[in-house]
Amino acid sequence: MRAVYHKELRSYFYTPTGWLFITVFLSLAGLLFYLNNILPRSSDFSAFLSMMSYVWMLLTPILVMRLMAGERRGMTDKLLQSAPLSIASLVTGKYLAACTVMLIAVTLSLAYPLLMSACARVYPMEVLSGILGFLLQGCAFIALDLMVTSTVRNTFSAAALAFGVNLFVWLMSLMTSSAAMPAALTRGIAFFSLYERFIPFLSAQLSPANILFYLMFCISMLAVSITMLKLERARER
């Protein structure tokens, strides 16, 4: 797994993918920080993170589109399948590499609350809990997109499919505020919503239930990805 992790992490920065993700992420973060904090002179960092949570819908497809589809496009997937490496190690290594690139981008964006602390009062627990939830949400979107693109053979198709699924997840989360929806259905959607689970973190509520949900969601998506790849490998033998 370590070899796959290092290979994928290097490939993110040997190609434009990693640089593109970080550049777009920081550009959007800078714009939202200006609109939410600088322009209105607000020290409410949770509002900034609330807006940033929708960025995952747009950007995580960039991270995952080449993880599996890129191997097939470069015709290196057969080489990986014949290597003495389990599918679980392959998927986990690729997933952790994508999460590392995301972590680098989020770490660079910590300059914003530091800048804000020089001019206004900032509550560290609010910032730390918000960042934790933001990272967990990002990891969940990466795991989801990796699952839905694990058997796709074209990088652009993988990006389009991942974005479509992310858009569907966002639209489903909007249904939780609809008065026309049955209460039982609304509660069910809210329970599994990657957006609703993020809201408590914005209020400095380190809920073990929400942390566990994100962790279990990521593990479940990786398990499905591994199962799908195993079935594909079995069919090809």
CA–CA dist 223, 70 (Å, integer): 20
Please write down the HEC assignment for all residues of 6-72. Answer: HHHHHHHHHCHHHHHHHHHHHHHHHHHHHHHHHCCCCCCHHHHHHHHCCHHHHHHHHHHCCCCHHHH
The reported pLDDT for the residue numbered 178 is 64
Measure the N-to-C terminal CA separation of the chain; round to a whole number of Å: 23
Question: Of the candidates 127, 136, 129, which has an alpha carbon nearest to the alpha carbon of residue 109?
Answer: 127
Residues 56-72, mean pLDDT to the nearest whole number: 83
Question: Of the candidates 166, 142, 160, 131, which has an alpha carbon nearest to the alpha carbon of residue 217?
Answer: 142
The reported pLDDT for the residue numbered 39 is 85
Whether the per-residue pLDDT at 128 is higher than 60: the answer is: yes
Of the pLDDT bands very low, low, confident and very high (cuts 50, 70, 90), residue 174 is confident
Question: Of the candidates 145, 128, 127, 155, which has an alpha carbon nearest to the alpha carbon of residue 194?
Answer: 145
Local structure of residue 207 (DSSP, 8 states): -
Of the pLDDT bands very low, low, confident and very high (cuts 50, 70, 90), residue 164 is very high
The reported pLDDT for the residue numbered 118 is 73
Whether the per-residue pLDDT at 217 is higher than 60: the answer is: yes
The widest CA-to-CA distance across the chain, in whole angstroms, is: 63
CA–CA dist 173, 186 (Å, integer): 9
Of the pLDDT bands very low, low, confident and very high (cuts 50, 70, 90), residue 179 is low
Residues 178-198, mean pLDDT to the nearest whole number: 78
Local structure of residue 198 (DSSP, 8 states): G
Q: Are 196 and 176 in contact (CB under 8 A)?
A: yes
CA–CA dist 135, 158 (Å, integer): 23
CA–CA dist 111, 114 (Å, integer): 5
- What is the percent of the chain where pLDDT is above 90? 43
CA–CA dist 229, 223 (Å, integer): 10
Of the pLDDT bands very low, low, confident and very high (cuts 50, 70, 90), residue 237 is low
Mean pLDDT for the chain?
85
| pLDDT tens column, 1-54 | 788 898 889 989 988 889 999 999 999 999 999 888 888 877 788 888 999 999
The reported pLDDT for the residue numbered 214 is 96
The radius of gyration of the chain's CA atoms, rounded to the nearest angstrom, is 19
Domains of the chain, residue spans: 2-236
Of the pLDDT bands very low, low, confident and very high (cuts 50, 70, 90), residue 181 is low
Whether the per-residue pLDDT at 224 is higher than 70: the answer is: yes
Q: Are 189 and 106 in contact (CB under 8 A)?
A: no
Question: Of the candidates 98, 77, 104, which has an alpha carbon nearest to the alpha carbon of residue 222?
Answer: 98
Residues 110-123, mean pLDDT to the nearest whole number: 79
Of the pLDDT bands very low, low, confident and very high (cuts 50, 70, 90), residue 80 is low
